């Protein structure tokens, strides 16, 4: 894990054609492999010196303690408070169950706040956003990068231009579009289309996928075409299977963004029956007893944290890659 | 496809307006040649993007510009009012408050939130064993859904002496703080939570950038007799310059649009001390008892967008330059 975390973006980047952007990382990754030595700021020689060793040891102890308190502390407290009666949480927030454990909180949160239903809604929002983002990014990326009609540069520029427009500009007109969509006569309010489709209009995804496709070897497509493969077959059987790394990155970004979104679903999903957790939790706060509410928060945190712990490397690589892509 | 186009281009041009030859006719783009060259396939692959971007991105952006010059309330037909919306926004006494608060938030977030992840990443990069554990711990707050994080911190910020943070302060002899209840401490409280929630992501990005620093540079610096601090100052930080600047711009773009924290923590209070620009836009459009003032809301969002657009243009120019280097 130690070095894997560090070099993961570099070595996997070899298969990814973000290579230009990642070249500096790869250089380091390869260099480290060739030399067999991996060094940072502090040299072996300096590590040997007593004073340096002692102060680095002290720094690491503080660093570790700080990370445990800041990273894990709030979650542990939440886990404790989830099964603690309200009065104990309010009067002795750090006492470990002075008046016993209240397991019923969890059950109440699950049944009375209907966490299960809102959780399903959240998954539904995320799954649809993921699907439509991938659909748009791959088809558009394929058309703009590989089919490349004469007018492709114009479209490409129009897509890129939206990157410069901050989301806030879209807020009101997009809301009005959802209320009165063109051509169809019904409002999209309270339907998941209202979340999925605007999420799919993501220029950053298209940029990422198009750049990746740009780097794929053209000869393969030419060979397939001579063998009689049509544009769809090239797309489905050749381009997509070659693009798993970038599809993974776009997927992670899409799911995380959908999971975190608050303002947009709040606006277009006013009906509680279809709201995701992020919108529902603040709404139920005032009518819920604190201990049950904290139990609800704990349950809503449990799943993303569990997913993170299982797919840790994917998450961290995605986050690091995000930086590499941004950088 | 491209080759075929090139071949068509290379065909000899026939001078004079005499009868068009077969080659010239083929060069003319008739619908049949267009279809044969895969024009329909191109459109089929572009269609999803064209529909989604047309309806949910390009259309609304154009509409935003139109709406900022109109009075729209969805009930009566829109009326052109010229620069009226802009004038009303600019004369709104809340605008100054919102702009100053947003700048205050962005400034505090820079002071608290910008150097901390750099420092953490530099220290973490020197950890030999269990680096993965350190990264995981640092990233954990990012995984917590932002809404859950804010609601949890709202409990932490309980202003009673028995509140979570006030208890901790009590251990070291500091009197209880009002946190979200006072217009002085509310904004810093928001920033502390926002920093906690975002630092992990930045740390991971900096760690990836630190790995990319060529080790030869450190070797060379040591040959020149540089100690640890000089290596950090003269090698590490200059090598991170690019990513530092990008993260700075991204942070400013992000904090200028802060909404979640003020909306959920304080609703803009107390005394409008946490009213941000985005919250003001939201109020104009969606929390107006007289019905949404969509014109005013879009006018303000356009003004904010021009400012942010300049920043993201700068960001794009820089990343483009660095990526081609």
The region of weakest confidence among A139-153, A247-261, A291-305 is A247-261
User: Is A322 part of a structural domain of the chain?
Assistant: no
Range with the poorest average pLDDT among B52-56, B250-254, B314-318: B314-318
Same domain, yes or no: A130 and A72: no
Name the residue with tokens 């693009």.
Answer: A243
Query: Is residue A304 in a domain?
Result: no
* A244 & A121 share domain: yes
Give the domain CATH number at A181: 1.10.3720.10
Judge whether B161 is closer than 8 Å to chain A, CB to CB: no
| A230: phi then psi, degrees, rounded to nearest 5 | -80, 170
- Rounded to an integer, the average pLDDT of B246-260 is 88
Kindly report the number of other CB atoms within 10 A of residue B192's CB atom.
Answer: 20
Q: What is the ipTM of this complex?
A: 0.80
Same domain, A222 and A79: no
The answer to whether B309 faces chain A, any CB pair under 8 Å, is yes
User: What's the pLDDT score for residue A6?
Assistant: 31
Residue where a domain terminates, one of A103, A137, A158: A103
Q: Does residue A95 sit in the same domain as residue A62?
A: yes
Whether B136 and B155 have beta carbons less than 8 Å apart is answered as no
pLDDT tens for residues A164-176?
Answer: 888 888 888 999 9
Residues of B in contact with A6 (CB under 8 A): 131, 207, 211
Q: Which of A48, A72, A103 corresponds to the end of one domain?
A: A103
Same domain assignment for residues A283 and A135: yes
Beta carbons within 8 Å of A217's beta carbon, 6+ residues apart: none
A120/B contact by beta carbon, under 8 A: no
Residues A33 and A87 in one domain: yes
Counted domains in chain A: 2
Q: Do B215 and A28 touch (CB under 8 A)?
A: yes
B63-72, B128-137, B287-296: which has the minimum mean pLDDT?
A: B287-296
Q: Is residue A265 part of a domain?
A: yes
Residue A175's pLDDT is what? Answer: 92
Q: Is the pLDDT of residue B14 over 50?
A: no
Claim to verify: residue A270 and residue A130 sit in the same structural domain: yes
Neighbours of B55 (CB within 10 A): 19
Predicted confidence (pLDDT) at residue B26 exceeds the cutoff of 50: yes
Does the distance separating the beta carbons of B211 and A7 come in below 8 Å?
Answer: yes
Cβ-contact B260, B146 below 8 angstroms? yes
Residues A231 and A280 in one domain: yes
Are both A95 and A212 inside the same structural domain? no
Beta-sheet strands, E only, within chain A: none
**A189 and A267 share one domain:** yes
Higher pLDDT, A251 or A320: A251
The residue among A239, A230, A159 whose CA lies nearest residue A200 is A159
How far apart (Å, rounded) are the C-alpha atoms in residues A155 and A150?
10
pTM of the full predicted structure? Answer: 0.81
Which chain B residue's Cα is nearest to A175? B60
CA distance A33 to chain B (A): 12
> Residue A19 has what pLDDT?
37
Domain range for A244:
114-287
pLDDT, tens only, B192-226: 999 999 999 899 889 888 888 888 888 888 888 88
A contact test, residue of B4, B53, B284 with most A CBs within 10 A:
B53
- Secondary element (H or E) of residue B79: strand B79-80
> In order of start, what are the domains of chain B with their CATH numbers?
2-82 (no CATH), 86-324 (1.10.3720.10)
Q: Cβ separation of A304 and B309 shorter than 8 Å? A: no
Asked, for residue A58, whether it belongs to a domain, the answer is yes
Q: Are residues A167 and A194 in the same domain?
A: yes
Domain match, A145 and A91 both: no
Which of A45, A77, A103 lies at the terminal end of a domain, its last residue? A103
**Is position A301 within any domain?**
no
Q: Is residue A317 part of a domain?
A: no
**Could you tell me if residue A232 is inside a domain?**
yes
| Structure token pair of residue A133 | 């983002």
């Amino acid at each position: 894990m130690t070095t894997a975390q560090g070099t993961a973006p570099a070595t996997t980047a070899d298969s990814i054609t973000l290579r230009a952007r990642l070249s500096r990382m790869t250089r380091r990754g390869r260099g480290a492999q060739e030399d067999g030595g991996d060094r940072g700021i502090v040299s072996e020689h300096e590590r040997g010196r007593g004073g340096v060793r002692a102060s680095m040891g002290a720094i690491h102890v503080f660093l570790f303690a700080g990370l445990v308190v800041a990273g894990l502390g709030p979650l542990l407290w939440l886990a404790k408070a989830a099964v603690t009666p309200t009065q104990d949480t309010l009067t002795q927030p750090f006492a470990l169950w002075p008046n016993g454990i209240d397991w019923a909180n969890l059950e109440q949160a699950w049944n009375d706040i209907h966490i299960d239903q809102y959780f399903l809604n959240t998954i539904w929002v995320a799954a649809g956003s993921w699907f439509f983002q991938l659909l748009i990014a791959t088809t558009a990326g394929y058309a703009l990068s590989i089919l490349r009609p004469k007018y492709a540069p114009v479209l490409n520029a129009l897509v890129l231009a939206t990157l410069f427009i901050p989301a806030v500009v879209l807020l009101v007109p997009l809301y009005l579009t959802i209320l009165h969509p063109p051509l169809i006569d019904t409002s999209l309010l309270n339907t998941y289309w209202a979340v999925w489709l605007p999420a799919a209009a993501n220029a950053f995804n298209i940029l990422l996928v198009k750049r990746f496709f740009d780097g794929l070897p053209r000869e393969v497509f030419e060979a397939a075409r001579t063998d009689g493969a049509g544009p769809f077959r090239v797309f489905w059987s050749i381009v997509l299977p070659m693009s798993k790394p970038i599809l993974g990155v776009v997927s992670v970004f899409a799911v995380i963004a959908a999971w975190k979104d608050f303002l947009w679903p709040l606006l277009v999903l006013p009906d509680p029956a279809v709201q995701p957790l992020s919108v529902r939790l603040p709404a139920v706060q005032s009518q819920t007893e604190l201990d049950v509410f904290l139990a609800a928060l704990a349950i809503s945190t449990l799943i993303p944290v569990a997913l993170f712990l299982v797919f840790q490397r994917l998450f961290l690589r995605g986050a690091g890659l995000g930086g590499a892509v941004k950088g | 496809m491209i080759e075929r186009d090139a071949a068509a281009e290379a065909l000899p041009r026939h001078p004079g307006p005499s009868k068009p030859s077969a080659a010239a006719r083929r060069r003319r783009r008739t619908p049949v040649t267009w279809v044969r060259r895969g024009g329909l396939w191109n459109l089929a692959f572009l269609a999803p993007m064209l529909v989604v971007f047309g309806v949910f991105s390009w259309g609304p952006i154009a509409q935003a510009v139109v709406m900022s010059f109109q009075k729209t309330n969805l009930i009566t037909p829109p009326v052109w009012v010229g620069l009226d919306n802009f004038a009303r926004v600019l004369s709104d006494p809340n605008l100054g408050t919102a702009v100053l608060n947003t700048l205050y938030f962005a400034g505090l977030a820079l002071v608290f939130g910008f150097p901390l992840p750099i420092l953490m990443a530099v220290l973490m990069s020197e950890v030999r064993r269990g680096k993965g554990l350190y990264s995981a711990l640092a990233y954990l707050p990012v995984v917590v859904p932002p809404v859950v994080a804010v609601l949890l911190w709202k409990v932490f910020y309980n202003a009673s002496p028995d509140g979570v943070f006030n208890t901790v302060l009590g251990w070291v002899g500091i009197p209880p703080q009002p946190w979200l209840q006072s217009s002085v401490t509310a904004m810093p409280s928001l920033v502390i939570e926002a920093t906690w929630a975002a630092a992990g992501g930045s740390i991971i990005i900096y760690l990836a950038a630190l790995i990319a620093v060529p080790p030869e540079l450190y070797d060379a610096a040591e040959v020149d007799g540089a100690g640890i601090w000089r290596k950090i100052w003269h090698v590490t930080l200059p090598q991170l310059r690019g990513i530092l600047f990008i993260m700075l711009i991204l942070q400013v773009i992000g904090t200028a649009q802060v909404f979640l924290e003020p909306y959920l923590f304080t609703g803009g209070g107390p005394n409008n001390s946490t009213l941000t620009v985005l919250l003001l836009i939201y109020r104009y459009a969606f929390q107006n008892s007289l019905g949404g003032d969509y014109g005013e809301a879009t006018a303000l969002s356009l003004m904010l967008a021009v400012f942010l657009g300049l920043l993201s243009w700068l960001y794009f120019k820089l990343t483009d330059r660095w990526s081609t280097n």
